[in-house]
Amino acid sequence: MSYQIIKEKLDNRKLVILDGAMGSELEKSGAKMDKNLWCGTCSVEFPELVRKVHEDYIEAGADVITTNTYASTPISMKNYGLEDSIERFNQKSVEIAKKAIENSKKNIALAGSVSASGSYYKLGVKAMIPGFNEQLKILTEEGVDLIILEAMSSQADIVQTMIECSVKINIPVWLSVSCVIDDITKNVMLGYNDSMDSPPEIYENFENSLNRFAKLHKGPILIAHSDISVTGKAIEVAKKNFSGILGVYPNTGHYEKPHWKFADDVTPNDYLEYAKSWLKSGAQIIGGCCGLGVEEIKAIAVLKK
């Protein structure tokens, strides 16, 4: 476990392969999803299955794997009466991922996922700060190699607050946000659209967001949990407005609580073709989010040189 090899690849403009979705792969493997914490409980209830998903991603060619902590945010766990388990869930998730890396005998970097899941926007962004800090603290103390602020689906001020909390961290920080296309203006917007039941959430022009985030965040920015069809356009906008390293890990399918419904219209080979185009547009880190799993990561890993 080390970030050094990732840093060298990125500095030398090489492609880094990130893992794919955890939740939807766990669902495929038969793990039970929690109605509140989704796949967050799996690290404690199905540790073997979580480890197996990590191992499958390493085997498929991922250079970086991500802890199963997206859904175990302090604010969400407190809300569901699980405040006493915050440390345990997060620590356990790091332990499982480290074990998977150890078993592989490969030099794989471990990313700690700090998210805004369950961030209850109505409480105001200030109320989210202690939770962001707590999850950052637990994961860095447990020894992850980098942090991914998985701010996808979040409003710009939440993203900014997460960035502000992360600047004091002394390991590399990546940021992921999601994008949608505004049907009327056709502009790429910060926002998301992952449910069949509700219209897309559209927050602000992605250009503005990037300019704002780049003031404090110098690490890679990844367009994540966004539809494949939006991803290429979003990279183009990001390329013009952010001078740092870019990456992507899009979605396919949609969410119907507490399950991710798969869309089977994107084959691993299709995903490889998309990945080639994103690489050409300037993405240096490519992985997968909901609905994109081990087969897709295996398919795109051939792009590594």
Report the interface residues with Zn ion, using CB under 5 A. Answer: 225, 251, 289-290
In this complex, which beta carbon is closest to Zn ion, that of residue 90 or of residue 251? 251
Identity of the residue numbered 272: L
Cβ 291 to Zn ion shortest distance, Å? 7
Cβ 4 to Zn ion shortest distance, Å? 28
In this complex, which beta carbon is closest to Zn ion, that of residue 153 or of residue 284? 153
Cβ 18 to Zn ion shortest distance, Å? 12
Say how far apart CA 283 and CA 156 lie, in whole Å. 22
Sequence-distant (6+) residues with CB within 8 A of 87 are 138
In this complex, which beta carbon is closest to Zn ion, that of residue 129 or of residue 200? 200
How would you class 39 by CB atoms within 10 Å of its CB: exposed for 0-12, middle for 13-18, buried for 19 or more?
buried
Sequence-distant (6+) residues with CB within 8 A of 43 are 50, 68, 69, 72, 89, 92, 93, 96
Cβ 163 to Zn ion shortest distance, Å? 20
Residue of 200, 201, 126 whose CA lies nearest to 160 = 126
Cβ 124 to Zn ion shortest distance, Å? 25
Cβ 3 to Zn ion shortest distance, Å? 24
In this complex, which beta carbon is closest to Zn ion, that of residue 92 or of residue 225? 225
157: part of which helix (H) or strand (E)? Answer: helix 156-166
Cβ 251 to Zn ion shortest distance, Å? 5
In this complex, which beta carbon is closest to Zn ion, that of residue 140 or of residue 176? 176
Identity of the residue numbered 65: I
Say how far apart CA 91 and CA 80 lie, in whole Å. 19
- For every residue of 84-140, DSSP letters joined together read GGHHHHHHHHHHHHHHHHHHHTS--EEEEEEE-TT--GGG-GGGGHHHHHHHHHHHH
Backbone angles phi, psi at 93, to 5 degrees: -65, -40
In this complex, which beta carbon is closest to Zn ion, that of residue 64 or of residue 169? 64
* Biggest distance spanned by C-alpha atoms of the chain: 51
Say how far apart CA 65 and CA 20 lie, in whole Å. 8
In this complex, which beta carbon is closest to Zn ion, that of residue 20 or of residue 74? 20
Cβ 260 to Zn ion shortest distance, Å? 8
* Half-sphere CA count of 262, side-chain side, radius 13 A: 14
In this complex, which beta carbon is closest to Zn ion, that of residue 149 or of residue 169? 149
